[in-house]
Amino acid sequence: MTQDSKASPNIPLTSKIIEKHGLSEDEYQQILKHLGREPNLTELGIFSVMWSEHCSYKSSRIHLKRFPTEGERVVQGPGENAGAVDIGKGLAAVFKMESHNHPSYIEPFQGAATGVGGILRDIFTMGARPIALLNSLRFGELDLPKNQHILKGVVSGISSYGNCMGVPTVGGEITFNDIYSKNPLVNVFCLGIVKKDRLLRGLAKGAGNQVLYIGAKTGRDGIHGATMASDSFDDTSEKKRPNVQVGDPFLEKLLLEACLEFLEQDLLVGIQDMGAAGLTSSSCEMASRAGTGIDMDLVKVPRREPHMTPYEILLSESQERMLLVAQPGKEEAVLAICRKWGIDAAVVGRVTDDGFLRIREGHEIVAEIPAHALAEEGPRYERPAAPPQYQEFLQSLNIDTLPDVKNPAEVLLKLLASPTIASKRWVFRQYDHMVGTNTVVCPGSDSAVVRIKGTSKALAMTTDGNSRFCLLNPYLGGGLAVAEAARNLVCAGAQPIGVTDCLNFGNPERSDIMWQFIMAVEGIADACRTFEIPVVSGNVSFYNETNGLSIYPTPIVGMVGLIERPENIITQWFKQSGDQILLLGETKEDLGGTEYLKVIHSREQGNPPWLDMDREKAIHFCLLSLIQDGLVQSAHDCSEGGLLVTLAECCLTHPSAPFGATVILTQDRLRLDALLFGESPSRVVISIKRENITQVRELVKGFGVPSVELGQVTQENLDITVRGSSNQPVSQISLSLSEMGNAWHHSLARQLGTETS
Amino acid sequence: MKQTAHFIWHQERSLQGMDAIILPGGFSYGDYLRTGAIARFSPIMDAVVDFAGRGGMVLGICNGFQMLLELGILPGAMLRNRNLSFICEDRYIRVENANTPFTNHCEPGQILKLPIAHAEGNYYSNPVTLSALQANAQIVFRYCDREGKVTSQANPNGSLDSIAGIRNAAGNVLGLMPHPERGAEHLLNNEDGLYIFRSMISALEKHKTPQTV
């Protein structure tokens, strides 16, 4: 690709060149139709990135229409830099999640760092001040040194960029599976706050308006990054390292402050981040959205090095750059703010009314393409989809062939030490999760909670996804991710108000992958519709595949919830000895796809638990109501590892003083392992003050929610007695807090061979 | 706390008549070179050095502490944390000198819980300087465990003599790595930082320090 980018723009376009640009013959024919002539090389490069999967969503777009995107609170739905929902008091929460998977495999530190940089720009381009970052990460198992290297690189990349920007990284989730060894996933979520009526959009409105370029100078880095992210990997992927960009968080910090000043002084018509496909995508998307054109002169673009070709300038993905549109007369004020913050800035063009993206180099026109054709009229595919033959094998687990658990205490310790379940403190202590003094609930509870200064409100945020469930049943897996995210928010005392998603899949040209994608989207859409939570933004990442091996289907759901009063903020850990422990929901024989089966029986098989959406919804209503009545001391979602892991986490996660619990369980027809480690959804472990137990049980009944009294919070030890239905003793588990703590707290650091203090 | 605070832009040359100066945390100039190494050349810093020299009250928090070291207002230097990673978490510190304008609301030996958030907080000085700091009670805070014991385990970053904060010989300048401003509010589950700000207010009320110019 680099040779092409330096070639004369007028070389004849051979089929080899077209193929190297990732364009099919059919797509090339469409280009000819749009142009009414052959493109030159620069134009071919522009089409190549804009019509790449990464930028055009050509395989996913028709399916994404299934998402419910409307709701009373929606201020901005999908299609902009980020979505926005109304949170009252004239404010909107702006949020989005995005992937940076491909670059993070090739260069973990910079790949992850620039992922954070990109999502931050998506938020402050909307005029919002970013106040929280979260991330969902997937890595291969840590016994491979290479996977340790990727994890360490990604975490320090996120830490380096986010910390320097002064935006707290408040939460997220990490799971491990060897399927991610050659395709790790880095999904970053950011949320910002803006006055609702000051929301900015990526619109190049008004012919004659000025187009300004601000931020970093354009260099040769990241050329064709978007094309890279639209292809699978093989053993030569290391060579793509030069396609990864390098981040400069301090410059981004200056850019952020400058952009918020433009907003303050009302200087802009529109603004867009130069992300994937850089100057090209920002200009044609802004023009396309506004139904205008842009005329731009590349000679005026600030550059890092001499002799760059138009091809290189247009396709560079140098970080920390923005494109602005301002009315004539306001550009001087924009430039003055840029001078104050020490940022490069230049007027590079103007808005036209002819709908063309016209690129000049001085007097010579080097590219001339209808903006709408680039941004909106790219190919759309309804690719063939069919369940794979292996699906039946995956779901065919006869649980009776597996022995029931003999020593639950030992299993619990193993699960607590499993990196997917173990404490992620080694990771989040490297993230500044408190900067800005808004973080009310730090990492380590079901959701992070950040207060909104100047109001009594707070926002809870979570990112969730269970890719094993999605592998076994993508429809259920999608729905379960939404259910878990909503439950996590509710456990923090928040009403879910909006969703963003990041859909990570393999190669969409394969029918099994496309089937996984369509089913997962449907699952997410149906759950969001049932729970009445609109999807306001999102991102699709295909081609997470190396040497023909795809990742598990991994849709990640990012969800935001609103808390009106600070006294309703709830955390997952037990608060006080003597409190009563109650399980909301029902435990069924749900062992398919569990962490237990994977860790103990080395099986990733079976059917994931069925999600009863009405039951799930009832639990949300019930728990929120209990919390608003001030009846709940702690609430923790029951997920990976099942009931016993949930109880252990309730005991261990208090930031300063762990608690114990004495619990009695009744084994009623269930296998013992299903009772203790099964992952039935729609379950929450809550603790309540002893004097409120009767009232709470009455209220819970009124919501039609089943509940079981489990026992009480104690000072030390987790003691669990399992009795049969006729009260006979079945099993006795007794673990000290230090035994459990040793397994859970230090496992990750131990596997990484680093200190833990 | 009923006090008025103003931001002063780095390009300014005057401290605008403030009673006290706080150099806050952050990543000045991205900390790309060495923490605080470029910020010390900010135009406003001449006025800060002058104010500190005339006995004005200056508090440097985290990156602010690092700047004070780079400026030479406080002795010593910062190294990378012992584990070479950024660390963000609550830590305990012990008040070693309660007789300063920054700690007069504390009891000697009082334990405060405050967050740290830094990658370069591993305080270092030569043995002569360290002896002087010890002899003059210039070590104001040491990292300790929950019970107040100063141990290697309780030292998060490898800091020499478990130093978390030091003052200058005259006593009007304090630098510390933990963040008192992050522990100053009930909603954030920590109010220990208020001891430091209350101390400063009391000190200012008692002995007016020279005003900035």
* DSSP assignments along A254-300, one per residue: HHHHHHHHHHHTT--SEEEE--TTHHHHHHHHHHHHHT-EEEEEGGG
Q: What is the DSSP letter of A710?
A: E
Distance CA A379, CA A740 (A): 54
Residue A37 pLDDT more than 90?
yes
**Nearest-CA distance A198 → chain B (Å):** 25
User: Per-residue pLDDT averaged across A359-387, rounded?
Assistant: 95
B167 touches chain A (CB under 8 A): no
Q: Which of A121, A108, A100, A113 is nearest to A158 (CA)?
A: A113
E-only strand ranges, B28-180: 57-61, 77-79, 87-95, 111-118, 122-124, 139-144, 163-167, 173-176
Measured between beta carbons, the chain B residues lying within 8 angstroms of A161 are none
Tell me the C-alpha distance between A373 and A47, whole Å.
Answer: 9
Q: Angle, to 10 degrees, between the axis of helix A613-628 and the axis of helix A474-491?
A: 10
CB contact under 8 A, A434 and B117: yes
Residue A1's pLDDT is: 45
What fold is seen in the domain B20-206?
Rossmann fold (3.40.50)
Alpha-carbon dihedral angle through residues A356, A361, A363, A368, given to the nearest 10 degrees: -20
Is the distance from CB of A110 to CB of A103 less than 8 angstroms?
yes
Whether B90 has its CB under 8 Å from any CB of chain A: the answer is yes
Domain parsing of chain B, residue ranges? 20-206
- Answer yes or no: is pLDDT of A101 > 80: yes
Q: How far apart are CA B138 and CA B136, in angstroms?
A: 5
3-state secondary structure of A713: strand
**A92, A193 contact by CB (below 8 A):** yes
pLDDT > 90 in chain A, percent:
89
Contact residues on chain A for B189, CB-CB shorter than 8 A: 440, 655
Is A253's CB within 8 Å of B27's CB? yes
pLDDT over 80 (residue A755) = no
pLDDT tens digit sequence for B53-84: 999 999 999 999 999 999 999 999 999 999 99
pLDDT of residue A234: 73
Record the tokens describing residue B63, joined without a space.
């990156």
Contact at 8 Å (CB) between A101 and A541?
Answer: yes
Distances, alpha carbon A24 to alpha carbons A4, A17, A18, A115, A548, in Å: 18, 11, 8, 29, 20
Name residue A54's amino acid: H
Contact B44, B13 (CB under 8 A): yes
Q: CA-CA distance, A680 to A591, in Å (whole number)?
A: 8
Chain A CB within 8 Å of residue B38 CB: no
pLDDT at A194 over 60: yes
- Å between A387 CA and nearest CA of chain B: 45
Of B26, B88, B181, the CB nearest to A431: B88
Q: Do B85 and A156 touch (CB under 8 A)?
A: yes
Question: What would the pLDDT profile of A385-404 be if each residue is shown by its tens digit?
Answer: 999 999 999 999 999 999 99
Nearest to B32 among A166, A250, A435 (CB): A250
Q: For residue range A205-230, what is the model confidence (pLDDT) as tens digits?
A: 999 999 999 999 999 887 776 666 66
**What integer pLDDT is reported at residue A2 of this predicted model?**
47
Of A429, A566, A656, the CB nearest to B88: A429
Q: pTM for the whole thing?
A: 0.95
C-alpha A734/C-alpha A333 separation (Å) is: 69
Active site residues of B: 62, 179, 181
Note whether B43 contacts A: Cβ–Cβ < 8 A: no
Residue A93 CA neighbour count, 13 Å, CB half? 31
pLDDT at residue A246, rounded to an integer = 83
Phi, psi of A707 (to 5 degrees): -145, 155
d(CA A679, CA A673): 10
- Predicted pLDDT at B206: 87
Smallest CA–CA distance, residue A257 to chain B, in Å, is 13
Cβ neighbour number for residue A706 with a 10 Å cutoff: 16
Asked if pLDDT for residue A756 goes beyond 60, the answer is no
pLDDT, mean of residues A361-384: 94
Question: Strands A293-297, A356-361: parallel, antiparallel or unpaired by DSSP?
Answer: parallel
Distance from CA of A159 to the nearest CA of B (A): 8
Task: Count CA atoms within 13 Å of residue B25 on its CB side.
Answer: 25
ipTM: 0.95
What does the pLDDT average to over A701-713? 97
How high is the pLDDT of residue B209? 64
Any idea what DSSP says for residue A486? H
Q: Determine contact, residues A124/A258, Cβ cutoff 8 Å.
A: no
